[in-house]
Amino acid sequence: MPFLLALLIAPAAAQEVSEKDYFGDLPVVLSVSRLAQPLDETPGAVTVIDRELIRRSGAREVAEVLRLVPGFLLTYRNGANPQASYHAGMDTYGSRMQVYVDGRSIYSSFYLGDTHVGLRGLVLEDIERIEVLRGSNSASFGANAFLGVVNIVTRNAADTHGVMLSATVGDKGINDNVARVGWGDEKASFRVTGARRVDRGFNNNYDDSHVSRLQLRADLMPTVKDDVMIQFGAGETWRGEGVGTGGNPFRTAGNADAHLLVRWQRQLTPDQQFELRFVHEREFLRDRFIATAGPISALVDTSGEGQRTEIGLQHSLRLDEAMRVVWGGEWRYETARSKPVFFTADTISLHQWRGFGSVEWRPHPQWLLQAGGMYEGHSYTGGTFSPRLTANFHVLPDHTLRAGITKSQRAPTFYELRGDSRLYLLTAPATQVAWTFLASGNVKPETLITNELGYLGRFRQINLSVDARAFVERMNNRVWFSARTVGAFAPNDAVNRPGPRIHGFEYQFDWRPFSGTRLMLAEAHTRIASGDPAEEREAPDRNTSVTWLQRLPGEFEFSAISTATTPFKWAGGGDLINTPRRLDVRLGKPFAMGATRGEVSVTVQAINGGYQVYKMNQRFDRRAFATLRLDF
C-alpha cells in the first residue's frame, strides 16, 4: 500500500520538502456554525475536497468523489442510480443526508426523501470545493442535516471567464460533454454552463442513464459593500429501471427540475455581515408501468410534482475580541401533487419556519467554546429544538482537541405523512386489487443524539495532517414501514421504532512527503447495536479509501484511488455484499498552445476487476474513458 510505504520513508522525505509544499493555513469553511472558521476551530469534523482533487480523482459525478471522505459509502442501486451515504446504508435515496449547493438544499421531500437525484445533476467542472461535515448538524441547518452534511461551493463567475469545452468517451457507452462560457468585468461576471452525461449502466441490466443540465450564474458587485449572486438551473434525467419481472418490468423513468437562487450579502462593517436569500425550486417525477401477477394487471404510478419556496436571512457579527455571534431565520413552503401517490388530485402542502443562533466565545487563547441551536416549527410535526455544545482546546499551535454533543432530527417526508397508494384492476378501473401504503399521519421526526471527540493535528516537519473523530450516536424514532389491517387489505404505514446505537471512530491522513506527491488515507470503523441482526448489518465494520496523487516527469499527472469495504447490506432490498474492492487509476497530461490551455486524460475505473454492488446479480465492471478539456 503506497501510504504505508510512505510512512517508512517519512524522515528522509521531510528534508526534501519546503514548507510551501504543505497547504500552509488551514482551509476556512462555513459548513458547521455558519461562521467562517479554520478547520481547527469548527465545532465538528470537516473534510474539504478541493477542485484539483476532484479533477484528478477521475470521478464523473459527485457521489464518486464522496468515497474519499472517511465513513462515506458508495453503492449503485443499478447503473443509473449511484448513491452515497454516511456511516451506513440505511436507505437507497440519501434521505438521512443533507446536501447544499451554494446554500440551496437539494433535498427532495416529495416521495421518500432524496438527495441522490440532486447530486446526479451537478456539474463537477463548476465546483470550487466540497465541504463535508462528518456528523450531524441540525443546530445550524435544521431538519435532515442528520447523518452527514455536504456543502458544495461552486466557482465564482469572475473566476471562469472565457470558454471551456470538455468531452469524455469510453466503455459502457460513456459520452459526456461540458461547454461553459464566462464573461464580465470587476462589477459583474456571468457564466453559462451546459452539460450532459450518458452511459449504458451495468452489463445485463436495463439501466441506461442520460443526464442533461443548463446552469446560469451571475456575480454582481453593485457597491464595494454588496455582493449579489443569482443562479438559475434546469435539467432532466432519464434512466432505465426494473428487473424484467411482472411486478417490476423494464421501463424508462425520469425527473426534471428547475431552480432560482438569489443571495444578497452586505458587509456592514469589517466584522459584521448581513445576508438575505431567496430560493424557488420545482421538480417533476415520472415513473409508471403496468404490473402483472397471473391474470391480474394494474397500473403502478409514482409520478408527481413538487415545489419549494424559501426565504432566509442571516446576521453575523463580532461583539468583542473574544466573542462572535451569528443568528437568523428561515421560512419554507413546500407543496406536492400526485393523485396515485396521495390518492387526491389536490395539492398538499406544509410550511416550516426556523430560528437559529450560534455563539463562539474564546475565554482563553487556547480555548474556544461554542453553543448554538435551531428551533423549527413544522405544520405537521410541531416544534423541535436542536442544540449543540462544543469545546475546542488548542493543546499546541498545530494540535487541537474537540469535544461536543449535539441533537439532530430528520423530518418525515410527504409520503410518510400523507401517502395513500392504491392499485386498481387495469381492465376494471373501479376494482381495487391492492393497497400498498396508507399513512396514518402519526409518524414523528427521527432524532439523533451525538457525543464525539476529535483531534486535528499538523506535523509541519513531515508535511502531514491528521484528522480523527470518535463518536457515539443514539438514534430514536427511526421510521419503518409496517403493515396494518384496513378492511380486506394490509397497507404499509410509516411508524416509529427505537433506533440503533451507532459508535465508532474514523480518521484521515493527508501527507505530502515529496514535492508533487500526495498520499491520503481515509478509514472508518463503525458498529451498529440494536438487537436486530438485519439492522446491524447496515454498516460495514470498516471502510477504507487510499489515494495517491503523483506528478511525473514531462508534466504528466498520475492518480490512484483504492477503496475497500467489509461486508454489509443496504436497507431497502440490498443483498449482503462481500468485501467490495475497487481500484481506479488516471493518467493526465496538461498542455498549453498559445493562449489555449488544456488537458488530456485516461481513466480506468475498477481496473482490478468488477465487483458486486447492492444486489448479488449487479456488478460494477471495469470501464475506461478518455477526456479532452480545452480552456481559452
Residue 72 banded pLDDT, cuts 50, 70, 90: very high
Tell me the average pLDDT of the chain: 92
Look up the domain containing 611 and give its range.
2-631
**Grid cell for residue 478:** 427511526
3-state secondary structure of 13: helix
Rounded to whole angstroms, how far apart are CA atoms 45 and 118?
24
Give, in order, the Cα–Cα distances in Å from 368 to each of 20, 322, 360, 364: 28, 9, 7, 7
pLDDT number for residue 577:
84
pLDDT number for residue 8:
34
pLDDT number for residue 495:
95
List of residues 6+ apart from 53 with CB closer than 8 A: 68, 547, 549
Least confident piece of the model among 253-267, 365-379, 469-483, 574-588: 574-588
**Grid cell for residue 312:** 432566509
Give the model confidence (pLDDT) of 332-376 as tens digits.
999 999 999 999 999 999 999 999 999 999 999 999 999 999 999
Give, in order, the Cα–Cα distances in Å from 588 to each of 2, 49, 610: 20, 19, 23
Pairing of strands 446-459, 399-410: antiparallel
pLDDT at 377 over 70: yes
Q: How many CB atoms lie within 10 A of CB 595?
A: 8
CA geometry: angle 231, 115, 452, nearest 5 deg:
110
pLDDT number for residue 628:
98
pLDDT number for residue 110:
78
Report the percentage of the chain scoring pLDDT > 90. Answer: 80
End-to-end CA distance of the chain: 39
Give the closest residue to 259 by CA, choosing from 93, 119, 104.
104
**Grid cell for residue 479:** 421510521
pLDDT at 119 over 50: yes
pLDDT at 7 over 60: no
Average pLDDT for 447-468 = 97
3-state secondary structure of 139: helix
pLDDT at 3 over 70: no
Report the percentage of the chain scoring pLDDT > 70. Answer: 96
Q: Do 436 and 493 contact (CB within 8 A), yes or no? A: no
pLDDT number for residue 12:
35
Average pLDDT for 427-439 = 91
pLDDT number for residue 501:
95
pLDDT at 20 over 50: no
Give the closest residue to 298 by CA, choosing from 432, 419, 421, 415.
432
pLDDT number for residue 94:
82
3-state secondary structure of 442: coil
Residue 108 banded pLDDT, cuts 50, 70, 90: confident
pTM: 0.92
Least confident piece of the model among 24-38, 147-161, 334-348, 587-601: 24-38
pLDDT at 486 over 90: no
pLDDT number for residue 227:
97
pLDDT at 35 over 60: yes
Average pLDDT for 315-331 = 97
pLDDT at 4 over 50: no
Listing DSSP states for 459-483 in one string gives: EGGGTEEEEEEEEEEEEESEEEEEE
Q: Look up the CATH number of the domain holding residue 223.
A: 2.40.170.20
pLDDT number for residue 14:
36
- The top-scoring range by mean pLDDT among 79-88, 501-510, 570-579, 607-616 is 501-510
Average pLDDT for 130-136 = 95
Number of domains in the chain: 1
Residue 112 banded pLDDT, cuts 50, 70, 90: confident
pLDDT number for residue 111:
73
Give the closest residue to 618 by CA, choosing from 122, 75, 1, 91.
75
Q: Report which residue type is found at 290.
A: I
3-state secondary structure of 255: strand
pLDDT number for residue 294:
86
Q: Do 412 and 443 contact (CB within 8 A), yes or no? A: yes
